A and B are shown apart, each in its own frame.
Chain A
Amino acid sequence: MGLENKILVKLKSAGFRLNDKWLVQGVSLQVEKGKIVTLIGPNGSGKSTTAKIALGIYKKIDGEVEKYTNKIGYVPQKISIDWTLPLRVKDFMILTDNLDDRTISEALSLTGVIHLKDKNLGDLSGGEFQRVLLARAISKKPELLVLDEPVQGVDFTGEIALYELIKKISEDLNCGILLISHDLHTVMSATDHVVCLNGHVCCSGSPIDVAKNREYKALFGEQASQTLSIYEHKHDHIHTSEGKIKKN
């Protein structure tokens, strides 16, 4: 295997169960250096859970995770920070790594929030905080970036710019990116590999393959399929309320 496609993290039919309910199961995927893998799927389909399995946050899992790097940047979907902590943006930037002031400023400039460097984290708006989260994740020049809905709450023009930035980062740092988004159109263009989840892997492949896939259309409905796929399909399985899958 060449250096170009060094595997950073690999899931082998991984799954996670909480109180006897499967949040996600049977997920196999791998993120390679310089590649962007995007997870899509409806709410509650196990996208965030899959990311947390890949990151090693969930430990009692089914299947296997193989991690080949420790240089990881993570933007979680939800983050609740306790305001008993006096924390400025620049304190938050060095949370898990020791970075010099220039590196911090560069990362904050990239995501367009350099002016917030000395502000208290509690005073930021949702979109501003999201940009800080992204800056923090990329500032440590990680080999693997895991971005869970990284542009939520960011205004429309900012959203496009941030996706451009993510694409640029993957090229500049040559890092692997595991991206989660419900924002299909923007995501598809930059992605190398799409995994479509709904409690399990419904379909996966290149964006074009997935867009053509019948499963994809079933998940995202007519509108999405009109833009990305014109293919008809039928289910080979149904989802029960406990998160189980029944074959037809």
Chain B
Amino acid sequence: MLDDFFIRALFAGIGVALVTGPLGCFVVWRRLSYFGDTLAHSALLGVTLAYSLEFNIALSVFIISALIALILINLQKRTNLPGDALLGLLAHSSLAVGLVVIGFLSFIRFDVMGLLFGDILAVNVNDIIIIWIGGAIILLVLKFIWKSLFASTVNYELAEAEGLDPDKAKAIFTILMAAIIAISIKMVGLLLITGMLIIPAAMARNISNSPQQMVLFSVIGGLLSVIIGLFTSLEFNTASGPSIIAASLFLFILSLLKIKQSIKLKN
């Protein structure tokens, strides 16, 4: 029989994978991997604030990540620094500030490893509710802005000219990124969340030839990664985050075999 905590972890992981699938595709399409990383690193600050103020973790992470995203957009307008330098600046400084704040919270028993790499033991029923409700809202909003976001991902000017609203879609998408990081931080850990977004989507890119197909395969890849990763984690007592990401890497390598095949077929 599977333990209750493991069932909870599975439910949480499946909920996360259903959302990271489609969002991850946009992260790959719009080249936002490092943006995701920056938001994830800033999440540590959100978690420490939540602990010190006895505040809901997901909400706190969401607020801090969204704030960092706003600061980034503002800095991009005000400075001449290149985007990747600004991303690095915000990622590492927010991570550093977060770690410093942890140092001050010595009165709280703090599982830093769990925070960085995810901890299935830490997932409780409350977390599952947050993941599923939050995830449903994220997917609903994404469906709502899909047309504008996708069209502007292909070509901004076409989207703008033909009556869609790319700027609004982009702003909303940024908030969705902050939200997915907030709800998945306990599962995957803040160092590996971006992996959960990118790797299944990258795997899907290798084996699909339409956007819808890529989203579908990305979701399936994420689900398989969660299931394989969690069982491995249970079996070998490894941290859940790395196990899930390692499983997704395994699927990615499998997808490369398919590419090799289709290249052979073409020749």
CB distance from B69 to the nearest CB of A (A): 22
In this assembly, does B105 line the interface, its C-beta being within 8 Å of a C-beta of chain A? no
Interface string of A52-87 (1 = CB under 8 A from B): 100111000000000000111110100111101111
Residues B210 and A96 in contact, CB atoms below 8 Å apart: no
Residues B157 and A57 in contact, CB atoms below 8 Å apart: yes
Question: For A96, what are the chain B residues with a Cβ–Cβ distance below 8 Å?
Answer: 147, 151, 158-159, 162-164
CB distance from B267 to the nearest CB of A (A): 15
How far, in angstroms, from A140 to B147 measured CA to CA in the complex? 15
- By CB atoms of chain B within 10 A, which of A56, A81, A87, A146 has the most? A87
Question: For B157, what are the chain A residues with a Cβ–Cβ distance below 8 Å?
Answer: 52, 55, 57, 74, 76
In this assembly, does B92 line the interface, its C-beta being within 8 Å of a C-beta of chain A? no
How far, in angstroms, from A36 to B119 measured CA to CA in the complex? 65
How far, in angstroms, from A56 to B29 measured CA to CA in the complex? 25
Residues B158 and A84 in contact, CB atoms below 8 Å apart: no
Question: For B164, what are the chain A residues with a Cβ–Cβ distance below 8 Å?
Answer: 96
CB distance from B22 to the nearest CB of A (A): 14
In this assembly, does B51 line the interface, its C-beta being within 8 Å of a C-beta of chain A? no
In this assembly, does A231 line the interface, its C-beta being within 8 Å of a C-beta of chain B? no
In this assembly, does A88 line the interface, its C-beta being within 8 Å of a C-beta of chain B? yes
In this assembly, does A1 line the interface, its C-beta being within 8 Å of a C-beta of chain B? no
Contact partner, B162, options A73, A86, A88, A92, Cβ 8 Å: A73
In this assembly, does B53 line the interface, its C-beta being within 8 Å of a C-beta of chain A? no
- By CB atoms of chain B within 10 A, which of A76, A86, A87, A91 has the most? A86
Question: For A73, what are the chain B residues with a Cβ–Cβ distance below 8 Å?
Answer: 162
Residues B210 and A56 in contact, CB atoms below 8 Å apart: no
Contact partner, B211, options A55, A71, A91, Cβ 8 Å: A91
Q: A55-B160, A72-B162, A96-B159 are in contact. Are A86 and B154 (CB under 8 A)?
A: no
Question: For A146, what are the chain B residues with a Cβ–Cβ distance below 8 Å?
Answer: 161
Question: For B211, what are the chain A residues with a Cβ–Cβ distance below 8 Å?
Answer: 85-87, 91
Closest partner residue, chain A, to B147 (CB atom): A96
How far, in angstroms, from A96 to B209 measured CA to CA in the complex? 19
In this assembly, does B238 line the interface, its C-beta being within 8 Å of a C-beta of chain A? no
Residues B153 and A85 in contact, CB atoms below 8 Å apart: yes
In this assembly, does B258 line the interface, its C-beta being within 8 Å of a C-beta of chain A? no
- In this complex, how many residues of chain B approach chain A with their Cβ under 8 Å: the count is 25
In this assembly, does B251 line the interface, its C-beta being within 8 Å of a C-beta of chain A? no
In this assembly, does A13 line the interface, its C-beta being within 8 Å of a C-beta of chain B? no
CB distance from A150 to the nearest CB of B (A): 14
In this assembly, does A172 line the interface, its C-beta being within 8 Å of a C-beta of chain B? no
Contact partner, B208, options A52, A71, A86, Cβ 8 Å: A86
Q: Using a CB-CB cutoff of 8 Å, which residues 185-224 of chain B contact chain A?
A: 205, 208-214
- In this complex, how many residues of chain A approach chain B with their Cβ under 8 Å: the count is 27
How far, in angstroms, from A96 to B149 measured CA to CA in the complex? 10
In this assembly, does A18 line the interface, its C-beta being within 8 Å of a C-beta of chain B? no
How far, in angstroms, from A5 to B155 measured CA to CA in the complex? 32
How far, in angstroms, from A140 to B10 measured CA to CA in the complex? 45
How far, in angstroms, from A72 to B157 measured CA to CA in the complex? 12
Interface string of A129-148 (1 = CB under 8 A from B): 00000000000100000100
Residues A74 and B31 in contact, CB atoms below 8 Å apart: no
Question: For A74, what are the chain B residues with a Cβ–Cβ distance below 8 Å?
Answer: 157-158, 161-162
Contact partner, A87, options B147, B154, B159, B162, Cβ 8 Å: B154
CB distance from B153 to the nearest CB of A (A): 7
CB distance from A13 to the nearest CB of B (A): 22
Residues B209 and A84 in contact, CB atoms below 8 Å apart: no
CB distance from B110 to the nearest CB of A (A): 39
How far, in angstroms, from A72 to B211 measured CA to CA in the complex? 24
Residues A81 and B163 in contact, CB atoms below 8 Å apart: no
In this assembly, does A95 line the interface, its C-beta being within 8 Å of a C-beta of chain B? yes
In this assembly, does A97 line the interface, its C-beta being within 8 Å of a C-beta of chain B? yes
**6 interchain residue pairs of minimum CB distance:** A55-B161, A74-B161, A96-B162, A70-B163, A95-B151, A86-B209
Seed contacts A76-B155, A79-B155, A96-B151; 5 additional CB < 8 Å A-B pairs: A55-B161, A70-B163, A95-B151, A96-B162, A96-B164
29 contacts between A and B (CB under 8 A): A52-B157, A52-B161, A55-B157, A56-B160, A56-B161, A57-B157, A57-B160, A57-B161, A70-B163, A72-B161, A74-B162, A76-B161, A79-B158, A81-B154, A82-B29, A82-B154, A84-B29, A84-B205, A86-B210, A86-B211, A91-B210, A91-B211, A95-B155, A96-B158, A96-B159, A96-B162, A96-B164, A97-B162, A146-B161
